[in-house]
């Protein structure tokens, strides 16, 4: 497969980017796509993702997210630069700049830099919203799942209609309706009654989509970005293994979160548990149901 892929990529890369491909090597870590290191004749490297031709919209959404985030990311935070996107033979291909990532995970200084960098990105991006509110310029994907966007001036309405609602509906279509879903959606204005403003968020910020860079700095990639309450990124950073404590400490020092942020973490992460339940099944469905039940119990208890 590698040789066949190289044979179709080489002429395309020459035509599209003016570079000569020497070899391609598989790179680990990709959950949805095949990932490759492209070694070029001048000694430099590029990063490529490939998938079936039908999956080109998924890679196009990733490019759109990286391009949207780029104006607001400043050192020490790095993003891969999208360089080329196309359907090449039977493949969908996205070529990105190469980031030399730490394979060991790195030390606390780098993770603190990532926390500061994310806070700076969130805060600076406010200037680019232009009063559009919550949403994004196009629909995109959260993992392999479609993620609808559009625009809304009201954060609870957006989170209900564009995030939790579609995931609840997807579960119901698969015969896995969650108990209390409608009630939770009705209560979202109470849960999300806090000062919020739209910032550009990464949107899929788990440990696998961030890394430290050799020589200093940190990187984010594989976004599902949209304009949202910034707390959604900080909440997801606690899921699936979570980020080191220094990341959260540095973010809080750079731009403290509003009161009640801890209370909203499980609500925001219910979205990702539901998405995993819809994609993978298994224990994620029970985790989502347990999370939903606990949220409703907590809300009802707070009213007595």
pLDDT, mean over the chain: 94
Instruction: Answer yes or no: is pLDDT of 93 > 60.
Output: yes
Which of the following is catalytic: 51, 120, 190, 204? 204
Same domain, 138 and 91: no
**pTM to 2 decimals?**
0.95
Same domain, 60 and 184: no
pLDDT for 107: 77
- 149 Cβ neighbours under 8 A, 6+ residues apart: 135, 136, 137, 138, 139, 140, 162, 226
pLDDT for 105: 63
Same domain, 137 and 269: yes
Same domain, 178 and 276: yes
Same domain, 68 and 129: no
Residue 24 falls inside a structural domain: yes
175-189 per-position pLDDT tens digit: 999 999 999 999 999
Q: CATH code at 235?
A: 3.90.1200.10
- Give the domain extent around 21: 2-74+81-97
Residue 157 falls in the annotated catalytic set: no
Same domain, 63 and 129: no
Same domain, 93 and 128: no
Same domain, 90 and 192: no
Least confident of 53-67, 106-120, 271-285: 106-120
Q: Report the sign of the C-alpha dihedral through residues 114, 119, 122, 125, in that order.
A: negative
Instruction: Answer yes or no: is pLDDT of 106 > 90.
Output: no
- Nearest 5°: the CA angle 84, 86, 89 is 135
Same domain, 201 and 126: yes
Same domain, 123 and 91: no
pLDDT band at 1 (very low <50, low <70, confident <90, very high): low
Same domain, 183 and 257: yes
Q: Residue-wise over 143-155: b if at least 16 C-beta within 10 A, else e?
A: beeebebeebeeb
pLDDT band at 28 (very low <50, low <70, confident <90, very high): confident
pLDDT for 265: 97
pLDDT for 303: 66
pLDDT for 40: 98
Instruction: Answer yes or no: is pLDDT of 24 > 60.
Output: yes
Q: State the total domains in the chain.
A: 2
């Amino acid at each position: 497969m590698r040789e066949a892929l190289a044979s179709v990529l080489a002429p395309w890369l020459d035509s599209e980017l003016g570079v000569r491909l020497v070899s391609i090597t598989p790179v680990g870590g990709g959950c949805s796509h095949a990932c490759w290191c492209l070694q070029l004749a001048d000694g430099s490297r590029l990063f490529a993702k490939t998938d079936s031709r039908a999956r080109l919209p998924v890679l196009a959404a990733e490019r759109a997210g990286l391009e949207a985030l780029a104006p607001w990311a400043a050192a020490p935070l790095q993003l891969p630069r999208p360089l080329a996107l196309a359907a090449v033979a039977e493949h969908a291909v996205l070529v990105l700049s190469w980031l030399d990532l730490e394979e060991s995970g790195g030390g606390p200084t780098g993770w603190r830099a990532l926390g500061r960098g994310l806070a700076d990105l969130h805060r600076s991006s406010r200037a680019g919203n232009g009063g559009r509110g919550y949403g994004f310029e196009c629909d995109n994907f959260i993992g392999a799942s479609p993620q609808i966007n559009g625009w809304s001036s009201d954060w609870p309405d957006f989170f209900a209609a564009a995030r939790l609602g579609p995931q609840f509906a997807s579960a119901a279509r698969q015969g896995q309706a969650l108990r209390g879903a409608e009630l939770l959606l009705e209560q979202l204005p109470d849960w999300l009654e806090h000062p919020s403003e739209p910032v550009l968020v990464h949107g899929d910020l788990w440990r696998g989509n961030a890394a430290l860079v050799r020589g200093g700095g940190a990187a984010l990639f594989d976004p599902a970005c949209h304009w949202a309450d910034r707390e959604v990124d900080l909440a997801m950073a606690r899921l699936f293994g979570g980020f080191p404590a220094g990341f959260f400490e540095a973010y809080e020092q750079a731009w403290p979160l509003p009161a009640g942020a801890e209370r909203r973490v499980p609500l925001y992460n219910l979205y990702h548990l539901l998405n995993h339940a819809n994609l993978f099944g298994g224990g994620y469905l029970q985790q989502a149901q347990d999370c939903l039940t606990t949220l409703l119990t907590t809300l009802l208890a707070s009213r007595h």
